């Protein structure tokens, strides 16, 4: 006999009209797996959303100025001039020269520890500026023209444009997660529909008798609705627990990476609340599907 | 509307029934059932008794003709109103149709539960009814654990537990011993004296003699004959019995 997730169902009088196990069977486990996958997909989608939003907020007003000059003295002079010019420019709220040791650290993974400094490969000086408003093509053009006079070797870029492809990928993943949540919801409804149809078929005699004794469609639908509600409730709780364990483990793994972009995708309390609502939505969806399936099938009977 | 029409509990007028494209199993069936009467429906095997009963307990719509029940056109009756009508009947099916996974107690309690009777209010009547049909010791047994006669008694108890306005029984004594058959007939008679219209389909001619005041409808190859004139003339209503008499 298969292990049942719903051992206490015997107490329900209405549910007793359906033999134990006819509707239940593997259904709570199927629902648990669906809910677990939905929780993971939804958590991923929320994390991607948070990543995109936080990174976008951070980078919206960010501008990076590179001074690409092989001569270190000229490069430093132009960098200082750029900082001064930017600080004097209306709309710029902050402009700082990125220290050389930080630049060296940034390029170290690709060019090695000895790449930076005066004796290594010439690397651009970087100026990090923050504007009051989001960077547009117009403001970027204005800055380029303003800086051209003081630093001919300056290249001005919006920080958001650097990560444009990354944002595009994150957005795609976010939509993919949403699509997965939708597909899993559809699959849950389909699984419930098949289980209820199967139960309707195997309990046809009982249903006919209840009908002939004066049972209404609503009464019979309620029996199936409750049975599937129990299954979905139990499956939902187990699925939520499984899903949350996976999400927490994945969160720890990503947190260990320590990368700013990844850590910006951390879930906040409203996200956790939304994840906790998934089994509730699953129960409602399963019960609604069961009711519609039963009522439609019963309408074909006299 | 005539005064007779208001007293009719069931009226069939030129009713025909065919399954699919087969020939009619019932043809031109016309009769009237009056409240508080006791009818036997007889006929050879295959004469159409069960089909006629199916029309009576609204499990089947006729292919043609008119059926009125409790003053309402039963053919155009909206589906939502069928349960309310069906609760006014008690039906003993030929094959019992007990719910296989429910105990005898739960099978008998089913019509009360369907009607929304609270659990605390149904335990005693169900136990009393099971005692009456001699199944107190077997109330927790499932149908598969019961003999044919015991199943039949459960089916009868289920049909009468809610004191229906009309009791329809298809060969209700077919699987019980003669003593129990008499006892069950006495129960039907007692219900009848309380005002329940009783229709019993049987091919047991001995049974007909046990209820002398009964009216006989005979089916022959799907057509109804009227040996006692019951279908043409309103029957003499029987004196009503008290509830205590039934319980005795």
CATH number of the domain encompassing residue B71: 3.40.50.300
Name which of A16, A210, A299 is nearest B114 (Cβ-Cβ). Answer: A210
- pLDDT grade, residue B111 (50/70/90)? very high
Sheet arrangement for strand A154-158: A92-97, A125-131, A62-67, A154-158
- Whether B2 shows a pLDDT value over 80: the answer reads no
Q: Alpha-carbon distance B1 to A299, whole Å?
A: 34
Task: Read off the tokens for A234.
Answer: 């139990």
pLDDT tens per residue, range B194-216: 889 999 998 887 888 888 788 88
Q: Alpha-carbon distance A153 to A68, whole Å?
A: 5
More confident residue, B166 or A168: B166
Mean pLDDT score of chain B: 85
> Do B43 and B220 meet the contact criterion of CB atoms below 8 Å apart?
yes
Q: Spell out which residues of chain A touch residue B87, defining contact as CB-CB under 8 Å.
A: 213-214
Task: Read off the tokens for B170.
Answer: 């298809």
Q: Is residue B236 part of a domain?
A: yes
Q: Is residue B238 part of a domain?
A: yes
Q: Give pLDDT, residue A8.
A: 38
Q: Which of A109-118, B73-82, B226-235 has the lowest mean pLDDT?
A: B226-235
Q: Is residue B194 part of a domain?
A: no
Q: Which residue has the tokens 């019995």?
A: B241
Q: What angle do CA A11, A13, A16 make, to 5 degrees?
A: 85
Q: What does pTM read for this prediction?
A: 0.71
**A135-139, A197-201, A202-206, B121-125 — most confident range:** B121-125
Nearest chain B CA: its distance from A3 CA (Å): 20
Q: Is residue B117 part of a domain?
A: no
Q: Is residue B200 part of a domain?
A: no
Q: What 3-state class would DSSP assign to B216?
A: strand
Strand pairing partners for B92?
A: B169
| Domains: count for chain B | 1
A213 to B87: CB separation less than 8 angstroms, yes or no? yes
Domains of chain A: 7-56+165-299 (no CATH), 59-162 (3.30.70)
Q: Give pLDDT, residue A123.
A: 80
Parallel, antiparallel or unpaired: strands A125-131 and A62-67? antiparallel
B119 to A215: CB separation less than 8 angstroms, yes or no? no
- Whether A6 shows a pLDDT value over 70: the answer reads no
More confident residue, A212 or A255: A212
Chain B residues whose C-beta sits inside 8 Å of any chain A C-beta: 57-61, 79-80, 82-87, 91, 97, 99-102, 106, 110-111, 113-115, 119, 158
Q: Is residue B40 part of a domain?
A: yes
- Burial, A145: exposed, middle or buried (Cβ in 10 Å; 0-12, 13-18, 19+)? exposed
Nearest chain A CA: its distance from B136 CA (Å): 21
CA dihedral A215, A220, A226, A227 (to 10 degrees): 120
Domain containing B240 equals 1-84+211-248
Mean pLDDT score of chain A: 82
Nearest chain B CA: its distance from A220 CA (Å): 10
Name which of B86, B100, B101 is nearest A213 (Cβ-Cβ). Answer: B86
Tell me what the mean pLDDT of segment A63-69 comes to. 85
- Whether A153 shows a pLDDT value over 80: the answer reads no
Q: Is residue B38 part of a domain?
A: yes
More confident residue, B99 or A132: B99
Q: Is residue B89 part of a domain?
A: no
Q: Which of A90-104, A279-293, B149-163 has the lowest mean pLDDT?
A: A90-104
B58 to A213: CB separation less than 8 angstroms, yes or no? no
ipTM computed for the complex = 0.83
Q: Give pLDDT, residue A3.
A: 37
Q: Alpha-carbon distance B114 to A202, whole Å?
A: 20
Q: Give pLDDT, residue B225.
A: 81
Q: Give pLDDT, residue B191.
A: 84
Residue B67 burial (CB count, 10 A)? 21
């Amino acid at each position: 006999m298969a292990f049942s997730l719903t051992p206490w169902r015997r107490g329900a009088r209405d549910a007793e009209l359906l033999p134990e196990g006819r509707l239940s069977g593997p259904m709570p486990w199927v629902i648990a797996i669906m809910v677990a996958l939905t929780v993971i997909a939804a958590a991923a989608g929320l994390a991607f959303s948070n990543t995109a939003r936080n990174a976008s907020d951070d980078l919206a007003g960010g501008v990076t100025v590179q001074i690409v000059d092989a001569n270190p003295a000229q490069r430093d002079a132009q960098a200082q001039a750029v900082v001064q010019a930017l600080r004097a420019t209306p709309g710029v709220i902050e402009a700082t020269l990125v220290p050389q040791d930080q630049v060296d650290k940034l390029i170290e993974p690709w060019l090695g520890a000895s790449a930076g400094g005066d004796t290594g490969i010439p690397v651009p000086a970087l100026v990090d500026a923050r504007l009051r408003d989001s960077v547009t093509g117009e403001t970027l053009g204005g800055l380029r023209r303003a800086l051209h006079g003081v630093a001919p070797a300056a290249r001005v870029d919006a920080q958001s444009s650097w990560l444009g492809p990354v944002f595009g990928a994150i957005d795609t993943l976010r939509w993919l997660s949403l699509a997965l949540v939708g597909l899993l919801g559809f699959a849950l409804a389909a699984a419930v529909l098949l289980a209820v149809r199967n139960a309707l078929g195997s309990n046809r005699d009982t249903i006919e008798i209840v009908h002939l004794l004066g049972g209404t469609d609503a009464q019979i639908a309620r029996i199936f609705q409750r049975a599937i509600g129990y299954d979905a409730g139990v499956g939902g709780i187990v699925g939520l627990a499984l899903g949350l364990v996976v999400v927490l483990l994945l969160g720890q793994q990503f947190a260990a990476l320590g990368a700013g972009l990844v850590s910006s995708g951390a879930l906040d309390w409203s996200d956790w609340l939304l994840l906790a609502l998934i089994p509730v939505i699953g129960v409602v969806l399963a019960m609604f599907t069961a009711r519609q399936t039963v009522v439609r099938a019963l309408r074909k009977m006299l | 509307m005539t005064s007779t029409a208001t007293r009719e509990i069931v009226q069939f007028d030129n009713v025909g029934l065919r399954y699919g494209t087969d020939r009619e199993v019932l043809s031109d069936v016309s009769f009237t059932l009056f409240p508080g009467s006791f009818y036997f429906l007889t006929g050879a095997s295959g004469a159409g008794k069960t089909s006629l009963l199916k029309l009576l307990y609204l499990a089947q719509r006729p292919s043609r003709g008119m059926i009125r029940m409790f003053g309402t056109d039963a053919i155009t009756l909206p589906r939502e109103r069928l349960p309310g009508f069906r609760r006014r009947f008690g039906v003993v099916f030929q094959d019992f149709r007990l719910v296989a996974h429910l105990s005898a107690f739960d099978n008998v309690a089913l019509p009360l539960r369907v009607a929304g009777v609270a659990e605390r209010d149904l335990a005693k009547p169900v136990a009393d009814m099971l005692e009456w049909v001699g199944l107190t010791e077997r109330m927790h047994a499932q149908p598969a654990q019961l003999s044919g006669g015991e199943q039949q008694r459960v089916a009868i108890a289920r049909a009468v537990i809610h004191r229906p306005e009309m009791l329809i029984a298809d060969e209700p004594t077919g699987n019980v011993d003669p003593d129990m058959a008499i006892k069950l007939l006495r129960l039907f008679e007692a219900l009848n004296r309380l005002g329940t219209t009783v229709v019993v389909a049987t091919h047991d001619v001995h049974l007909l003699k046990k209820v002398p005041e009964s009216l006989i409808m005979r089916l022959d190859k799907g057509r109804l004959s009227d040996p006692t004139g019951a279908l043409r003339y309103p029957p003499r209503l029987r004196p009503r019995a008290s509830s205590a008499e039934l319980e005795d």
